[in-house]
Amino acid sequence: MRHAPMVITIDGPTASGKGAVAQAVACRLGLHYLDSGALYRLVALQAMHHGYTFDTVLTGTQEAQLAVWARHLPVVFEGDLILLDGVNVSAEIRAEAVGNMASKIAVIGLLREGLLERQRDFAQAPGLVADGRDMGSIVFPNAPVKVFLTASSQIRAERRYKQLIDKGFSANITSLVADLNERDARDSARKHAPLKAAHGAYVLDSSELTLDETVEKLLQHYAKVVGLALNELPVRSGF
Ligand code: DC
């Protein structure tokens, strides 16, 4: 019998540290990694390149166009590089304006459906760590390990501030807190796949934890679920 690849889902609000934690866990266990937010950001960037703005009230035709992009955008993930139509947009999609646009268009059910198969295609042997908002609830509902990672909005704003400054963007903590709260409210209140802990998810608050401590707790949980001791997990070089 062919076994489905192992899938670990890590969902949570914006800037909860999901990305860094999911990448570290994937690297430690030698699994593939899916940053589903990047797909939403890529569709948002495409829309912005076509003149859609955050304040645009979308028509039915525009929503249908977004769904077409979701299904067919020529995107390549190459290590840390993300190419859209052959152009490296890895840094550009991280701008707050693109994140806000992604959150705005993520309410569209047709667009979410368009991204569904793309996301599921990442579940290849030996397994996948997928981060997002609905990985455990909608995209991989049968994943054996589901995590909901959260942190206070002040801590998340501080982490996002550091990320943005490190990437050369300008940022302001007060407006970041307001932005995060607004984005959380939009992601949580939407009709399709709202942000919430999946049934049976391990809820982990990382406000008081370092990245390494958070990864360690997650690996402990993973080991427990798969019935191994922590020291029996595969050790990858470079971790
Ligand atoms: O994780 P992120 O900040 O890169 O995601 C950007 C936006 O994309 C987020 O505010 C909501 C949307 N998103 C989503 O709706 N579902 C996902 N699985 C991932 C992201």
Q: What is the CATH number of the domain that holds 59?
A: 3.40.50.300
Q: If you take atom 3 of ligand 1, which residue's CA is the nearest one?
A: 14
Q: What pLDDT was estimated at residue 1? A: 54
Which tokens go with 146?
């589901």
Does residue 30 fall inside a structural domain?
yes
Angstrom distance (rounded) from CA 69 to CA 46: 8
Averaged pLDDT for residues 34-39: 97
Neighbour tally for 57: CB within 10 Å: 5
Q: Which residues neighbour 63 within 8 Å (Cβ) at sequence distance 6 or greater?
A: 108, 110, 111
Upper half-sphere CA count for residue 237 (Cβ side, 13 Å): 0
Q: Which domain holds residue 144?
A: 6-229
Does any domain span residue 138? yes
pLDDT the model gives residue 4: 80
Is the pTM of the predicted complex or chain greater than 0.85? yes
pLDDT the model gives residue 2 = 60
Residue of 40, 113, 180 to test ligand 1 pocket, by largest number of atoms within 8 Å of CB = 40
Q: Residue 238: inside a domain, yes or no? A: no
Q: What would the pLDDT profile of 59-96 be if each residue is shown by its tens digit?
A: 999 999 999 999 999 999 998 899 999 999 999 999 98
Atom of ligand 1 nearest to the CA of 100: 10
Query: Does 137 sit in the ligand 1 pocket, CB within 6 Å?
Result: no
142 within some domain = yes
Neighbours of 187 (CB within 10 A): 20
- % of residues, the chain, pLDDT over 70: 97
**How many domains does the chain contain in total?**
1
Assigned domain for 211 exists: yes
pLDDT at 236: 67
Q: For residue 141, give Cα distances in angstroms to 11, 114, 120, 145, 188.
A: 12, 17, 11, 10, 18
Is 45 near ligand 1, meaning CB less than 6 Å away?
no
Q: Is residue 179 part of a domain?
A: yes
Mean pLDDT taken over the chain: 93
The residue whose CA has the least distance to atom 5 of ligand 1 is 37
Express each pLDDT in 207-219 by its tens digit.
Answer: 999 999 999 999 9
